[in-house]
Amino acid sequence: MKLVSSDRKRRGMSLDAITDFLNSAPVGRMATINPDGTPYVLPLHFAFEDDRIYVHCALEGKKLDNLRRNPAVCFEADEVLDVQIVSEKPCASGTYYRSVIANGQAAIVDDPARKRHILQVLMDKYAWGRKRGEMSDEAIDETCVVEIMVEEISGKARLP
């Protein structure tokens, strides 16, 4: 995974800051490519581990059809922290934020043990410490897990 400089170098995030953000961001967006070449962007829950982004979904659908045709994806997550309004000079107003963009190749995870681990990582992120039951083999078989092997990643932040 290659850390790419932000186009605004003074706002660029370190790899540690990017990792921390991805481990806490509740929603990401993944862009795939439709058969006609147009982009298809959808919001999703995700987990980040070992330079990979993981998502889960149904066993069929437009997202998987696109990935099977072309595994190249772009992933984005962002967070608006606050808005600073400068009433006497509106063009000086701005937003405090963090955002990450990653490019990579997506693949469907077939190994049941690996799927179980990834789904557990997703549950750990979104359960927020709440008690939960075990995942059944049947539930794992009925869930698709997609792995994005991140090739390039960049982050920008403007913090208060």
- Per the structure block, which two tokens stand in for 24? 């806490």
- Per the structure block, which two tokens stand in for 140? 């794992």
82: domain CATH number? 2.30.110.10
- Taking the C-alpha atoms of residue 145 and residue 41, their distance in angstroms, rounded to an integer, is 18
pLDDT tens per residue across span 83-130: 888 888 878 788 899 999 999 999 999 999 999 999 999 999 998 777
Name the residue with tokens 């595994």. 71
pLDDT(9) > 70: no
Number of domains in the chain: 1
What pLDDT does residue 3 have? 78
Cβ neighbour number for residue 150 with a 10 Å cutoff: 20
Residues 30, 45 contacting (CB under 8 angstroms): no
* Domain containing residue 132: 2-158
pLDDT(155) > 90: yes
What pLDDT does residue 71 have? 98
